Structure 1
Amino acid sequence: MSVSFEDLCLSRELLDAVKDMGFEEPSPIQILAVPPLLAGRDALGQAQTGTGKTAAFGLPVLEKVIAGQGVQALVLCPTRELAIQVAEELNRLAARKRGVVILPIYGGQFIERQIRALDKGAQVVVGTPGRVMDHLRRGTLRPDGLTCLVLDEADEMLDMGFREDIEAILEQCPADCQRVLFSATMPAPILELAKRFLREPEMLSIARKMLTVPAIEQTYYEVRPYQKMDALCRVLDSQGFRKALVFCSTKRGVDEVCIHLQQRGYQADGLHGDLAQPQRDRVMQRFRAEGVDILVATDVAARGIDVDDVDAVINYDMPHDVEKYVHRIGRTGRAGRPGSAFTFVTLREHYKLRDIIRCTRAHIKQGRLPTLRDVDNIRTTRLLDEVRRTVEEGSLDRWLLLVEEFLAERFQEGGVTGRDMSAALLKLLMQRDFGKQDSADAPDVFAVEARRPAAAQEGGLSRGGQGAAGRRRERRNDAPMRALRLSVGHAHKVSPRELVGAIAGECGISSRHIGAIDIRKQFSVVEVAEELAEDVLAVFSRGVSICGVRVSAQPDEGGAEGHFPRKAGKFGPRRPRSGFYAKKTRGSAAGRREEEPSAGRDRPRS
């Protein structure tokens, strides 16, 4: 029997906020964690990023927070990026709860700005251990009013060397403060920390059972979040499904995907929990009667779908757990018919794919998305096949007469043959069905992936850190760089770390693909790996904000040599004017930390 958010005994404000975010039902870790955390018990949970653990501890924290009072909850995160992400998620959850302020504090940002924000008042603080310790030493953050302390990704914080800071923070918390610890793994140091500081903790762990999946062809594509819509259209165009079922995680995602598909000329409709029963019946009737070719749905809405001739299931968003994956792909390949399942996987979601393979023992192969030229050729081939079948069927006398009369009347002087006529008709049909653009010459958003070295295209999920995670750690020392000019500089109080964070976070690339940085008064010039430059420009063209400023990007006319002249020598490029390089990371735990500017304090003690 399914569990809804209403069953978790949350206030109306939080339920409305969850509904605004488009979620229909809680994830397994949320079902397991929310009740004991609402009861005030300490907890030790095992959950990875992407399982919904932020809401798992965020909803109970926000439920008990009282607006207008001092800091009542503290969330520790290992990195600046995660602290910002958690704070943004908590702000969305607290959107309907007036007077509640969530404040992120981290190294690399002026501490005076954070001190002023703390003086104005905040009820929930999300921070990195080093910067939290700075505020505790200064007395600008007082722990005596804390009622809840959350350690998010505790194993990562210990790997990064923050153990002393974490223990010092835990020791300063009030004795009756609720302590919650989430970790993706449970090594001995985590268990020791829990035994020392947690009081009879509730163990939160999702049991994984072995599942079997239908005997259907399963494929996954590695894409970036902003590429999903183009990837979906290419899969639909290249496969030519009669009926396809597309799964999204949220109601908002269903609406957005459905609108985009309709704008691109697909016969698509959406199905989610906000639709009234008569509306859902009409959508399903159209899907069964071939009035709709593509049905976009959430997991909750799809439970009532019983259609035997679904050609394929496409996981636009990865499911939260293995059971949902099995239920999704089970909608195709019914009644002895062949079926296919396609899944879009981002770099941060590969662990979910590994869980699915491990629990189901399914063979999920990595696919290559067809290029625009491939799609164009497939469309043409299908149309020519239809023409061939029509010729073989015969009964063309009436149409032959019309063609002969047309040629005689319109082209009396000759010069136009039946071959020309066939080519013109083929062109008209292709333009009618697929638009007038020449897709073979159009820009390809996946061109960057195709230009990457062959070694970076291989694998997927092999052992030893290869595949997506392994590729993120690779950095060729001789890789060509390209200079990009960003419309933000010293006048906007931007720092090199903020530039690196924005480019890496928004574009989904590693900081080791970012080279020298030169910050001027009104603009900055940043070196990016040549094979990723067009990708970065495409992301910035969609809108990226840095320090509250909407930033545009363009190739720098002066080139990299104009801003960063090379010197022959052991250490390669000369240091830029800003005195900052994105530190190349290594495979060790210490090497995974990026270099902090001197203003930051999020460094583990040596």
Structure 2
Amino acid sequence: MNFKDLGINENTINLLNKRGIKQPTDIQKESIVYIKNGKDVIAEAQTGTGKTLAFLLPIFENISPKTNSIQALILTPTRELAIQITEEAMKLKESKDINILAAYGGKDIGSQLNKLKGNIQLIIATPGRLLDHIKRKTVDLSKLKTFVLDEADQMLLMGFKNEVEAIIKETSKKRQTLCFSATMNPQVKKLSYRYMKDPVFITIQKEEVTLDNIKQQVVETTDRRKQDSLCKVLDEDNPFMAIIFCRTKRRADDLEVGLYKRGYNCAKIHSDVPQAKRERIMKSFRNADIQYLIATDVAARGLDISGVDNIYNYDIPETVESYIHRIGRTGRAGEKGYTCVFIDPKNKKALEEIENVIGFKIGRRALED
């Protein structure tokens, strides 16, 4: 099955081909036709499966540039994800020139207000900023055709349930609703069924990211010696691009200072870093101008960055799912990946849980003193 079989127009297919996207992914094959035909869809799919294009491509097919109203809204929990989806949407503009507004906190509301005076057909937003616009009466969602709730599980985890429901109340009852989520927990299902009409349920099997293409190792250390241990590993590996995960913002701050003093090319992202700066850092990292991105889980949620060779878990994640999610950012598309987790004695139980779920004992990496 190709994009033409899914009803995608020739101009868009040519654009995708130029970017090296020749064949639809599983989530795209399963969902595009339903979405294009106006069906409500609940899709369970991980980051990195191509879900953004799964909803953007049919939205672009269905939007009319001549209609002066907001026809599609994509709601996402984090600014980073809103930026990433906006970048994808902008790449499709060559095939159909529609007006797109990105509305998220940290971005100047004045420029957003000015843009809203124009003819906007697609909005990509975070809940807080969109509600701000709704209260100011600068956004009218009454003629909305398609509403996308992206990363629904994370949206609820971050406490946005009331905001999401307030936004839905502003939309047309005739709208099409699409819900994309990495996990289909009971809260997501409850929210979805409450606001959807006879939805099609699509589940894309999780890739076995932990086993096939990714070499996993453990470095046993102490919290005091952890930074030295990390630096030894970085010096030995010298990866082209790597993400280093920390448990908290404070840990990320301290690690950035420590690595920077030692001469490493690094930068951190977390929710306290100003938005404009985060955008610059992400652009630099994608362009490989920064070698090491230090991140917290929330800041990195949804970021799909190609070319990441190595993932370093400076702090062991709080859940097995989070571990799998983190390390799944390498070893993509058949490429080999490497991941290393640094543990101190109090992390032994958490490591055992991970090993139980993935079904084997992770190899230990010895460091020379």
Q: Name the TM tier (shorter chain).
A: 0.5 to 0.7
Task: Give the equivalent residue in structure 1 for 2:111.
Answer: 113
Task: Give the equivalent residue in structure 2 for 1:349.
Answer: none
Q: Structure 2: how far apart are the matches of 1:41 and 1:180? A: 8
Question: 1:65-100: per-residue Cα shift (whole Å, max 9, x none)?
Answer: 0003221000001111111110110121232213x1
Counterpart among 169, 172, 177 of residue 170 in structure 2: 172
Shift of 1:506: 3.2
Does the C-alpha gap of structure 1 residues 87 and 468 become closer, same or farther in structure 2, counting only changes over 3 Å? closer
Aligned residues of 2:244 and 2:295 also touching (Cα < 8 A): no
Q: How does 1:423-442 map to 2 (within 5 A)?
A: none
Task: Give the equivalent residue in structure 2 for 1:22.
Answer: 20
Which one has a bigger Cα radius of gyration? Answer: 1
Task: Give the equivalent residue in structure 2 for 1:39.
Answer: 37
Q: How does 1:43-62 map to 2 (within 5 A)?
A: 43-62=41-60
Task: Give the equivalent residue in structure 2 for 1:303.
Answer: none
Task: Give the equivalent residue in structure 1 for 2:72.
Answer: 73
Task: Give the equivalent residue in structure 2 for 1:309.
Answer: none
Q: Which amino acid aligns with 2:70?
A: V
CA RMSD of aligned residues (A): 3.1
Task: Give the equivalent residue in structure 2 for 1:92.
Answer: 91
Question: 1:538-591: per-residue Cα shift (whole Å, max 9, x none)?
Answer: xxxxxxxxxxxxxxxxxxxxxxxxxxxxxxxxxxxxxxxxxxxxxxxx979xxx
Aligned residues of 2:246 and 2:294 also touching (Cα < 8 A): no
Aligned residues of 2:79 and 2:104 also touching (Cα < 8 A): yes
Q: Give the TM-score of the pair, scaled to structure 2.
A: 0.64
Q: Structure 2: how far apart are the matches of 1:95 and 1:456? A: 45
Task: Give the equivalent residue in structure 1 for 2:277.
Answer: 499
Q: How does 1:143-154 map to 2 (within 5 A)?
A: 143-154=141-152
Aligned residues of 1:17 and 1:94 also touching (Cα < 8 A): no
Counterpart among 206, 215, 235 of residue 365 in structure 1: 215
Does the C-alpha gap of structure 1 residues 50 and 164 become closer, same or farther in structure 2, counting only changes over 3 Å? same
Shift of 1:177: 0.2
Shift of 1:207: 4.1
Instruction: Give the secondary-structure state (helix, strand or coil) at the position aligned to 1:74.
Output: strand
Does the C-alpha gap of structure 1 residues 456 and 199 become closer, same or farther in structure 2, counting only changes over 3 Å? farther
Q: Structure 2: how far apart are the matches of 1:148 and 1:197? A: 13
Q: Which amino acid aligns with 1:96?
A: S
Task: Give the equivalent residue in structure 1 for 2:82.
Answer: 83
Shift of 1:497: 3.2
Query: Which residues of structure 2 form unaligned runs of 5+?
Result: 218-225, 234-241, 264-272, 286-291, 297-316, 320-369
Q: Which amino acid aligns with 1:40?
A: G
Q: Structure 2: how far apart are the matches of 1:135 and 1:12? A: 36
Q: Structure 2: how far apart are the matches of 1:363 and 1:123? A: 41
Does the C-alpha gap of structure 1 residues 147 and 353 become closer, same or farther in structure 2, counting only changes over 3 Å? same
Task: Give the equivalent residue in structure 1 for 2:139.
Answer: 141
Aligned residues of 1:43 and 1:204 also touching (Cα < 8 A): yes
Shift of 1:22: 1.9
Does the C-alpha gap of structure 1 residues 113 and 33 become closer, same or farther in structure 2, counting only changes over 3 Å? same
Does the C-alpha gap of structure 1 residues 476 and 81 become closer, same or farther in structure 2, counting only changes over 3 Å? closer
Query: Which residues of structure 1 form unaligned runs of 5+?
Result: 209-321, 323-351, 368-450, 459-466, 485-494, 513-585, 589-606
**Fraction of identical pairs, as percent:** 33
Instruction: Give the secondary-structure state (helix, strand or coil) at the position aligned to 2:4.
Output: helix
Instruction: Give the secondary-structure state (helix, strand or coil) at the position aligned to 1:509.
Output: strand
Higher relative contact order (CA 8 A, sep 6+): 2
Q: Structure 2: how far apart are the matches of 1:33 and 1:17? A: 20
Paired positions, count? 264
Task: Give the equivalent residue in structure 1 for 2:3.
Answer: 5
Q: How does 1:473-492 map to 2 (within 5 A)?
A: 473=248, 474-475=251-252, 477=254, 480=258, 482=260
Question: 1:119-144: per-residue Cα shift (whole Å, max 9, x none)?
Answer: 11211110101001011111111001
Does the C-alpha gap of structure 1 residues 476 and 135 become closer, same or farther in structure 2, counting only changes over 3 Å? closer
Does the C-alpha gap of structure 1 residues 74 and 18 become closer, same or farther in structure 2, counting only changes over 3 Å? same
Aligned residues of 1:76 and 1:128 also touching (Cα < 8 A): yes
Q: Structure 2: how far apart are the matches of 1:61 and 1:12? A: 15
Q: Give the TM-score of the pair, scaled to structure 1.
A: 0.40
Task: Give the equivalent residue in structure 1 for 2:310.
Answer: none
Aligned residues of 2:105 and 2:128 also touching (Cα < 8 A): yes
Q: Which amino acid aligns with 2:170?
A: Q
Q: Structure 2: how far apart are the matches of 1:107 and 1:363? A: 37
Task: Give the equivalent residue in structure 1 for 2:294.
Answer: 510
Q: Which amino acid aligns with 2:95?
A: R
